[in-house]
Each structure stands twice: as structure tokens, then as C-alpha cells.
Amino acid sequence: MADSGERLQQLIKVVRGKGHRLTPQRLAMLKVIAKSEEHPSAEEIYDRIKADFPTTSLATIYKTLSLLKDMGEVLELSLAHVGCRYDGNKPYPHPHVICTGCGQILDPEFGAMAEIIREMAQQTGYQITHHQLNFFGLCPRCQQEGQAPD
Amino acid sequence: MADSGERLQQLIKVVRGKGHRLTPQRLAMLKVIAKSEEHPSAEEIYDRIKADFPTTSLATIYKTLSLLKDMGEVLELSLAHVGCRYDGNKPYPHPHVICTGCGQILDPEFGAMAEIIREMAQQTGYQITHHQLNFFGLCPRCQQEGQAPD
DNA sequence: ATATGTGCAAATGGTTTGCAGTGAG
DNA sequence: CTCACTGCAAACCATTTGCACATAT
């Protein structure tokens, strides 16, 4: 995978470039987000930040997350009844495969999206700006556990 | 489109068949749901029911919606920051095209889903049970209004 | 120096739950 | 006659907001 340090530098540059301040709390958040492969929730990000900044509040997490969303630097996955998950590593729409057993989320390879969007736009006349494509099911491990319970 | 009266009969049969009671409130809900083409929210369903049953409560709507979900007779679309929308007309996963301007939701034609699911399952080893595919953008009318404001 | 960011606490809003009373079967 | 359903109000819970204080620039 790509160098997450590089992604961090990019995030820092974007935040500063738009005239926003780089506080220690934000830097800590950017570090977490830059290398997040697991699509953490706001609360999970919060928990990791708390190690370094015990007084950090969830509200600040949400505020910075919102800022990054507006700048297009994080992707928000809103999963029903699971709350929102964030991806600052690949901040553009891409498919997800989500285990309904353990909650694991994968980013599968899927190249045909551009063409599908073109097709949908042509069929409906909509000007499509973004999309979400999520698959739900059991991951291999959860399938096994289902069949051969402890 | 198909006869919504037929769909209503089917819904009634399923509800009764599983040993659930068919109250007047439920019947009214089933009528609304059977012909819903517009993916109404719980509150919108509630508003329509209220005409006939002024004392109906939202809680009852949610309870019945939950019942129908469990029986696989309504599809719940959970759209971030818009709340849930319900489709009792086509209760199986299918793509949606959603206008970010006016909220209109279309059901486009899209035949390739089965193949894509097969591909994702093969790639990830997941046992995929359901999915969601949503496209967001401006509908033709909202595009016009954006260009030529009143 | 100054306005942006932080952190607390309170507000929000869609959804869920508890429970006493009601009515479908 | 009974138990599932209804309707009210209160509870939930993730997210948002208001505001006084702190601080990056």
C-alpha cells in the first residue's frame, strides 16, 4: 500500500492551504486518518486521540471530520444502524464489502464504476456527483463460525 | 407498472400468514406501502395514515415497518442525514438515483448486479446477502433551476 | 493581537421502548 | 376471552450546536 506519511503530508498541506489552523489535536487526528485502513467511526478515532490528548472531546472530532469532509479529504460511509465510518485514506467513492457478523470492511477492486455512472446518467438525465456501492454478507471467518460453533 | 392492488393482497396474505393481526391501522399502512413509488419516509407514511386515523402514532408506523422489514416485504434505504426511506413496492435491493436538490428518488434499470455480486464474492470470499447501490446528483429540473435562478 | 479552534454541556431529531389500555382473532 | 397491537410519553444515541476560554498564526 501507499506511504501513509505521504498522505499525512498531503492532509497537512490541504488543511493549512485553506487557511485552517493545525492544532496538536488536529495533527493527531490527521495521523490517525491518514493511515486508517479500517474505516473507523468518530468514536474510534476519538479513542485513539485520547491516548495523546486526554481532554479531547468528541465534538472536536466531529467538527474536524466535517471540515475534512467539506474539503473532500475524507469519505463518509453512512451505514444504517451502525453510524458513520470514515475513510481518509481513499477519500473518493469506492465500493465496500461489509461483514454483518464482525463489522469488518474491505475495499474490493472494482473498475467498472465510471462506465456504470455514465449509463445511469444517460438513462435518468441526472448529473451524478457521487455514489455508494456497498455489499453486505459474512466474511469467510464468520461463515466458518456459523457452521462450526465453538 | 404492476397492479398495486395485487401487491396489497400479497402483503395482507403475508401479514396474516405469519400469524400477525390485520388492524385497520395496518391495513391503511399496507395500502400506502403497496403503491409507494416515491420511497416515503416513516413520517410521510404517518402523514398519509393520519387522514384516516387521526390518533395513529409514529411509533406504530415504525413498529409495523420493522415487522415488514423482518418479513422481507419492505426495503429500507438508509440515506445519510436524510433518514430512512421505505419501498414496499420493490422490497428487494435495487439501485437508486437520488436528487440532492429536491430529494426525488428514481429506480433506474440496471441488469448487471447479479454478475457484479458474483465477482465481489469471488474476490473477497464473502457470502454476500444484500447490497446497496445509490447514485447522487441533480435531477434535470434542479440542474435547470441552478443555472437559471428565478 | 485576533479570530479560529477547543471542550464542555445542552440541544437535536430520527428511531425505539415501556406500559396501560384496546380490539382482532 | 386473550394476547398481540396501539398510542402516548419517555428513553436512546449518534451527531450538532452554543458559548466562554485557549491558542496557532
**What's the predicted TM-score (pTM) here?**
0.90
**How many beta carbons lie within 10 A of that of residue A52, not counting itself?**
13
Residues A60 and A31 occupy one common structural domain: yes
What local confidence, expressed as pLDDT, does residue B148 receive? 64
Is the domain of A60 the same as that of A123? Answer: no
Same domain, residue pair A78 and A113: no
Q: Is the CB of A130 under 7 A from strand D?
A: no
Is nucleic acid strand D under 7 Å from B16's C-beta? no
All cell numbers assigned to A3: 506511504
Q: Is the pLDDT of residue A1 over 70?
A: no
Q: Which residues contact B67 (CB under 8 A, 6 or more apart)?
A: B15, B20
Q: What is the mean pLDDT of residues A81-104?
A: 92
**pLDDT value at position A2?**
60
Q: Which of residues 28-87 of B touch A (CB under 8 A)?
A: 76, 78-81, 84
**Do A137 and B143 count as a contact with CB atoms less than 8 A apart?**
no
B74 pLDDT more than 60: yes
Residues of A in contact with B108 (CB under 8 A): 120, 123-124
Residue B137 to chain A, least CA–CA distance (Å): 4
> Can you give the CATH number for the domain in which B110 is found?
3.30.1490.190
Q: Verify that B108 and B124 share a domain, yes or no.
A: yes
Is the domain of B70 the same as that of B125?
A: no
Q: For B21-40, write each residue's pLDDT tens digit.
A: 999 999 999 999 998 899 99
Residue B66 has pLDDT above 90, yes or no: yes
Q: Are residues B112 and B136 in the same domain?
A: yes
pLDDT, tens digit, for every residue of B77-107?
Answer: 998 888 899 999 999 999 999 998 888 999 9
Domain boundary among B70, B88, B106: B88
Domain count, chain A: 2
Write out pLDDT tens, residues B103-115: 899 999 999 999 9
The residue segments making up the domain with residue A80 are: 1-88
**B150: which residues sit within 8 A by CB, 6+ positions away?**
none
Last residue within a domain, chosen from B36, B58, B88: B88
Assign A145 a pLDDT band (cuts: 50, 70, 90).
confident
Average pLDDT, chain A: 93
Do residues A92 and A78 make contact, with C-beta atoms less than 8 angstroms apart? no
* B116 and B138, same domain (yes or no): yes
The CATH number of whichever domain residue A47 belongs to comes to 1.10.10.10
User: Which chain B residues have a beta carbon less than 8 Å from that of A99?
Assistant: 126
Per-residue pLDDT of A22-60, as tens digits, reads 999 999 999 999 988 999 999 999 999 998 899 899 999
C1' (C20) to CA (A79) span, angstroms? 36
